[in-house]
Structure 1
Amino acid sequence: MTYTTLVSAAALAANLDHPHWRIFDCRFSLADTAAGYKSYRQNHIPGAVYADLNKDLSSPVQPYTGRHPLPNIELLAAKLGDWGVNNRCQIVVYDDAGGAFAGRMWWLLRSMGHTQVAVLDGGYGHWRKRGLPTTAILPKIAASGFRSYLDDRQWLSANQIETGLASRSIRLIDARTQERFLGKAEPIDPVAGRIPGALNRPLQSNLDRNGLFLSPDQLRRQFSDLIAPWPAERVVHMCGSGVTACHNLLAMEIAGLGGSKLYAGSWSEWIRNKNRPIAGDERTAKSLT
């Protein structure tokens, strides 16, 4: 069986020794960028390789980019090969943040033409609650060869976002918390607010109280109400830096609403250009200038 959106803890546990399955630990903390790797070295799912958001899944920040620019795809493809991935592998990605960071690797692989990739539902926390095996032993990796078939239509630039909103040809959805979206608080970026015309769907809305994704039917109803009358193919997702937005994109795929896109630069790129419009709490905006 092929998994392309989510995989359960039970299904992964049953395939830990499968020769064509590869597992990636994507745990990360924006507040402490070394914390994810430290946690990985302490314990992880057997066979998992660590993929660092900053070092592996993003490019260095430039003056005109957001906080997590898309990685150099050729370099990432070479790393995947070094990590034992080939184009026939079933890949599973996980984190301890409900899929907020693992979703980035899921989306990247799909954009590179590899659809056999799934996020572990419930992540590392659910895995441990179920008493499934963990280890501190680093895996022995036999290098393979991975070829990318990049589809650069899967993301939009800031200019495309401006044009799409002006022509009302896209529906823009922001995955940040409501406080950040409304401009009432901004703990990360230097300017608070939102892109005018965007709608808010905090990524936490996609999960139940146990940290598992809502059912496809529930997600379909909620997203259909949010994006109407736009079709899924006209929906674009954003967040602070283009990482957690992938969570909403994944949720739409789970719901059977395929074809939405990513604004990869997101808010942290948008505010680099002072000529781009912003909306939000004026009092907060003034306090940050």
Structure 2
Amino acid sequence: MSAKLPVFVDADSLNAVIGDPDVQIVAVDSPRDYAQVHIPGALQIAMTDFTTSAPPVAGLLPDTERLAEAFSDAGLRNDAHIVAYDRAGDSQAARLLYTLDVMGHSAISLLDGGLAAWHQAGLALENGPPQHGASSFKVERQADGIADREWIRAHLNDDDVAFLDVRSAPEYVGTDVRSARGGHIPGAINLDWNLLKGDDGRLRPRSELLKIVADHDIESERDIVNYCQSHMRSSYTYLVLKHLGFDKVRGYPGAWSDWGNATDTPVSDTRDAS
């Protein structure tokens, strides 16, 4: 594989490698929206292809067989560097890239700012239905990138583990309730994922990111578990921490929709805190 792209790639840099056989661009989009406009040559995959749910829990990881089938159906290749984008603020593309990473495919990049950034750069777009090539994508689950409810319960008092809640402050304190219970995992650090982006919706410079992370006492020596409501926003922060060189990073598929809807999980609710 000759392509060497950073975790976050800008539109001009991606445009420079269009046509490189080692690079696959994939739109996380519905077939209808993709058909209206997409980056030339991009493949297409929908969120429902690589996530599953068990209501009221959303954003779960499907089993490896289903993921292998979904990635193969989309035409993704194990020998390619996969660059994902969306039109929904980067969280859907980030979730695809998180899933690829924890299924053993680490050659991944996010188009910073998504389709809007591409359009703003004045680059070519095309329309037409998805054209999926045949492939046989192999997956291998990487357990060190995944936290589930039982793993979290077992590590609540582990000083080597930190929980990073990237939801809004109202969600974190429990005034914005989106599951059976509001609040957060005990001891979790709150860092709204939007703080990692500038006014243009794109990733802040590295120096600013490092300061934000340090100001929130997020330490690379600890195992950082990212979560939000259904592990879309927190897939973005997972990629940001990878971009900053953090080696021990996990995502929590299901996230608060799993934890907050369970009846036996401890919850911290700070609505009445002074």
TM-score (norm: length of structure 1)? 0.85
Aligned residue type for 1:39: D
Residue aligned with 1:261, SS:
strand
Quote the offset at 1:183 in angstroms: 1.3
- What residue number does 2:252 align with? 263
| CA spacing shift, 1:102–1:265, aligned 2, 3 Å | same
Aligned residue type for 2:54: V
Distance 1:39 1:233 in 2: 40
In the alignment, structure 1 residue 152 sits paired with structure 2 residue 143: yes
Query: RMSD of aligned C-alpha atoms?
Result: 2.1
- What residue number does 2:49 align with? 56
In the alignment, structure 1 residue 78 sits paired with structure 2 residue 80: no
Contact map agreement 2:26 2:85 (CA 8 A) in 1: yes
- What residue number does 1:204 align with? 194
- What residue number does 1:235 align with? 224
- What residue number does 1:14 align with? 16
Quote the offset at 1:62 in angstroms: 5.2
Aligned residue type for 2:40: P
Aligned residue type for 2:12: A
Quote the offset at 1:151 in angstroms: 0.8
Residue aligned with 1:50, SS:
strand
- What residue number does 1:43 align with? 37
Distance 2:147 2:233 in 1: 16
Residue aligned with 1:23, SS:
strand
| CA spacing shift, 1:123–1:232, aligned 2, 3 Å | farther
Quote the offset at 1:233 in angstroms: 4.3
Quote the offset at 1:274 in angstroms: 1.6
Task: Identify unmatched segments of 5+ residues in structure 2.
Answer: none
Quote the offset at 1:20 in angstroms: 2.9
Match of 1:91 among 64, 79, 82: 82
Segments of 4+ in structure 1 off by > 6 A? none
Deviation per residue, 1:57-110 (Å, 9 max, x gap): 2124256xx211112222222232232222211111011233211111111111
Contact map agreement 2:34 2:130 (CA 8 A) in 1: no
Contact map agreement 1:216 1:256 (CA 8 A) in 2: no
| CA spacing shift, 1:205–1:97, aligned 2, 3 Å | farther
Distance 2:141 2:126 in 1: 34
Task: Identify unmatched segments of 5+ residues in structure 1.
Answer: 28-35, 284-289
Quote the offset at 1:282 in angstroms: 5.2
Match of 2:209 among 194, 219, 236: 219
Deviation per residue, 1:215-250 (Å, 9 max, x gap): 22221222133235x435411111001222111111
Paired residues for 1:119-158 under 5 Å: 119-158=110-149
Distance 1:273 1:75 in 2: 26
- What residue number does 2:240 align with? 251
- The number of aligned residues is 270
Contact map agreement 1:47 1:139 (CA 8 A) in 2: no
| CA spacing shift, 1:80–1:205, aligned 2, 3 Å | same
Distance 1:40 1:162 in 2: 40
Using the aligned pairs only, state the percent identity.
Answer: 26
Quote the offset at 1:204 in angstroms: 0.6
Distance 2:233 2:196 in 1: 12
More displaced, 212-221 or 119-128?
212-221
In the alignment, structure 1 residue 181 sits paired with structure 2 residue 176: no
Contact map agreement 2:81 2:108 (CA 8 A) in 1: yes
Contact map agreement 1:233 1:261 (CA 8 A) in 2: no
Distance 1:272 1:208 in 2: 33
Residue aligned with 1:217, SS:
helix
More displaced, 191-200 or 123-132?
191-200
Distance 1:78 1:275 in 2: 35
Deviation per residue, 1:163-211 (Å, 9 max, x gap): 212233311011111111111223x434322222111111111111111
Distance 2:122 2:213 in 1: 34
| CA spacing shift, 1:233–1:89, aligned 2, 3 Å | farther
Distance 1:232 1:75 in 2: 34
